[in-house]
Amino acid sequence: MSTERKPITIYGQTSSPDLSSLQILLKELGIAYNGPKAPSADEKEHLDYLVVNAEGGEPCIQDPNTQTVLGEIGAVFEYLVSNYDKDHRVIFRRGTPEFWLAKQWLCFHVAVQAPVFRQAQWFKTSQSREEKLFGGATGRFIQEVQRVTAVLESQLAKQEQKYPGSGGPWVVGDKLSFVDLALISWQTKIGTILEKDEYDGTKYPHLQSWIDRLTSLPSMQQFCRYGS
């Protein structure tokens, strides 16, 4: 019986930062995949697609090797690193503090960073009608993007002190991990979300250094265009 691994199928719009992060992770782990298949708005409401992801969101995956169909980027990342990173390239060993800290920061991406950046992008690019309906929302989300960015800057500064000479700092531990790959794609879009007078990159030197290291990865250069 052949044990050759079959490609995973991924679904998602090519403009999605979370899809970029997913493709970067797959590339870093050497996982073959088909797609991305980009469902239209109508297809997202179709029962066939809702079988893939009940919420209708993206990205999501179908893994024929385990008969797993999975949506929500946090769950997808956890699944992929748990099943396909046996050499601990981007995951930490179970039971270590870093193993649990990585989960914490993945939750930060899913529950805080991505929603805040997504809403800021929406209100910044939407028509004035939305701003009239939700007065002050744009300013609120601009402040939240700045706050989230400051949180990452603070974490990276602490990591530099804790792990000198690691080639980092990285968000968790002393190596590149899946957490960095999850967080990077939205963070690189900050220049398209905020105006120059709303974001001063010089205030975040550790974050900028982190971005520069990650965007030098071949996988990043292939799937994530900095600032686009």
List, for residues 139-168, the tens digit of each pLDDT value.
889 999 999 999 999 999 999 999 998 899
8-84: CATH number: 3.40.30.10
| Greatest extent of the chain over all pairs of C-alpha atoms, in Å | 63
What is the chain's mean pLDDT, rounded?
87
What's the pLDDT score for residue 55? Answer: 64
Reported pTM: 0.89
Domain range list for the chain: 8-84, 97-216
Contact 56, 44 (CB under 8 A): yes
**pLDDT tens-digit map of 167-202:** 999 999 999 999 999 999 999 999 888 888 899 989
CATH 1.20.1050.10 for domain 97-216: yes
Mean pLDDT of 37-46: 62
